[in-house]
Amino acid sequence: MSSHKFIVAPPRIEDREVVKPLLCGPGPCDYWPSVEKALSKPVLSPICEELFKVLEDIRVGLQYAFQTRSKLVMATSGSGHSGMEAIISNLVGPGETLLIASRGIWDQRALMIATRYGIKTKVVSIPMDTTFSLAQLEPELKRIRPAGLFITHGDSSTGTLQNLEGLGDLCHKYGTLLLVDTVVSLGGVPFFMDEWGVDGVYTSTQKVFSGPAGISPVAFSARAEQKLNSRKHNPPFYLDAKQLALQWSCDGVTRTYHHTLSSPLLWALRACLQELVRETLPVSWARHAASTAHFHKRLREYSFEFLIPKPEDRLATVTTVKLPKGYDYRGFVKYMRENHKILIFAGLGPTVDKALRIGIMGVNSTTKVADAVADAMADTLRALKKSSL
Ligand code: PMP
E-strand stretches of 280-388: 305-306, 318-322, 342-343, 345-346, 356-359
CA of 154 to the centre of ligand 1 (A): 10
**215 sits in which H/E element:** strand 215-220
CA of 111 to the centre of ligand 1 (A): 14
Which residues does residue 98 pair with via DSSP β-bridges, in sequence order? 121, 148
Contact, 15 vs 348, CB < 8 A? no
**Cβ–ligand 1 contact at 361 (below 6 Å):** no
CA of 181 to the centre of ligand 1 (A): 9
Phi/psi at 237 (5° precision): -55, -45
| Ligand 1 pocket test, candidate residues 184, 203, 239, 315, most atoms within 8 A of CB | 184
Q: Which atom of ligand 1 is nearest to the CA of 156?
A: 5
**Per-residue pLDDT for the chain (389 aa), expressed as one digit of tens each?**
568 999 999 999 999 999 999 999 999 999 999 999 999 999 999 889 999 999 999 999 999 999 999 999 999 999 999 999 999 999 999 999 999 999 999 999 999 999 999 999 999 999 999 999 999 999 999 999 999 999 999 999 999 999 999 999 999 999 999 999 999 999 999 999 999 999 999 999 999 999 999 999 999 999 999 999 999 999 999 999 999 999 999 999 998 999 999 999 999 999 999 999 999 999 999 999 999 999 999 999 999 999 999 999 999 999 999 999 999 999 999 999 999 999 999 999 999 999 999 999 999 999 999 999 999 999 999 999 866 55
CA of 37 to the centre of ligand 1 (A): 25
Q: Residue 1 has what pLDDT?
A: 59
Three-state DSSP at 216 gives strand
Contact, 189 vs 315, CB < 8 A? yes
| Ligand 1 pocket test, candidate residues 23, 29, 81, most atoms within 8 A of CB | 81
Q: Is 330 annotated as a binding residue?
A: no
The ipTM, to two decimals, is: 0.99
What distance in Å separates the CA atoms of residue 55 and residue 39, rounded to the nearest whole number?
Answer: 15
Which residues does residue 220 pair with via DSSP β-bridges, in sequence order? 200
C-alpha dist (Å) from residue 80 to 204, 227, 320: 5, 22, 21
**Cβ–ligand 1 contact at 27 (below 6 Å):** yes
| Ligand 1 pocket test, candidate residues 153, 183, 348, 357, most atoms within 8 A of CB | 183
Which residues does residue 343 pair with via DSSP β-bridges, in sequence order? 23
How many other CB atoms are found less than 10 A from the CB of residue 339? 12
| Ligand 1 pocket test, candidate residues 204, 215, 218, 344, most atoms within 8 A of CB | 204
Burial classification of residue 141, based on how many CB atoms lie within 10 Å of its CB (0-12 exposed, 13-18 middle, 19 or more buried): buried
**150 sits in which H/E element:** strand 148-152
Q: What is the DSSP letter of 205?
A: S
E-strand stretches of 332-378: 342-343, 345-346, 356-359
How many other CB atoms are found less than 10 A from the CB of residue 380? 23
Domains and CATH numbers, the chain: 22-27+280-388 (3.90.1150.10), 33-278 (3.40.640.10)
Q: Residue 385 has what pLDDT?
A: 84
CA of 46 to the centre of ligand 1 (A): 27
**Cβ–ligand 1 contact at 209 (below 6 Å):** no
Ligand 1 atom 4, closest CA: 183
Which residues have C-beta within 8 Å of that of residue 122, sequence separation ≥ 6? Answer: 97, 98, 99, 100, 140, 144, 146
How many other CB atoms are found less than 10 A from the CB of residue 187? 27
Q: What is the DSSP letter of 238?
A: G
CA of 387 to the centre of ligand 1 (A): 35
Three-state DSSP at 1 gives coil
What distance in Å separates the CA atoms of residue 217 and residue 149, rounded to the nearest whole number?
Answer: 19
Ligand 1 atom 12, closest CA: 80
Phi/psi at 242 (5° precision): -70, -40
CA of 104 to the centre of ligand 1 (A): 12
Contact, 335 vs 380, CB < 8 A? yes
